[in-house]
Amino acid sequence: MYMCVRSHFDLNDVVTPKFIPKESIPTDLQTAIVGLDDPTFNIHRGYDNNSMSNTATISQKVARSMFLFPHQNNLGSYLETLAAVEMECILDKDRILELYLNYSEWGDNIYGIGEAADYYYKKDIQNLSRRQKLKLASVLAKPLEVDPSTYDKNKIVEARFNLLNKLMD
């Protein structure tokens, strides 16, 4: 059983996300998230040395959220990269993506895409409209700052939404 714990270790903040198997998550949503968050996900081995944006890969984000503390510094980044490379030796890409979708933070104390769909839309992930899927995927950029119902007010998230809309066409 995996649990997500906030950085100050208050036991009241321990959350067990509602796990959704990868096969039950709409493929168009998976494709859009990978295309936006980590376009080289299917070819890199845990980190992307050639990334122009210097952002963490999906594998690094999974390593950070599941094995490491959220504080970012040089040592943390190094450990995150090592953990991501090791994880890629053990797990296949489908499993890593499944972990990313199920254990990423989608809002304040909202972990996993299933919880996010339920919290924001009171629906199962399979019953979301295209627009709702795009809004959820857009929130991953700033999950603690953006609510899908107010994403239009955040330029970064709005840009992600527009890019996702193009990717899904």
| pLDDT tens per residue across all 169 residues of the chain | 344 444 444 555 555 668 999 999 999 999 889 988 898 999 988 888 776 566 889 999 999 887 766 666 778 788 888 999 999 999 999 999 999 999 998 888 899 999 999 999 999 999 999 888 888 888 887 787 777 766 555 566 666 667 766 766 6
DSSP line for 112-162: SHHHHHHHHHSS-GGG--HHHHHHHHHHTTSTTT--GGGGGG-HHHHHHHH
Closest CA to 162 of 125, 134, 127, 132: 134
**What backbone torsions phi and psi does residue 98 show, to the nearest 5 degrees?**
-60, -45
Nearest-angstrom CA–CA distance, 14 and 136: 23
* Res 36: pLDDT: 83
* Inter-residue contact 26 to 87 (CB < 8 Å): no
SS3 assignment, position 107: strand
Domains and CATH numbers, the chain: 11-167 (1.10.3810.10)
pTM: 0.79
Q: What is the DSSP-derived secondary structure letter of residue 111? A: E
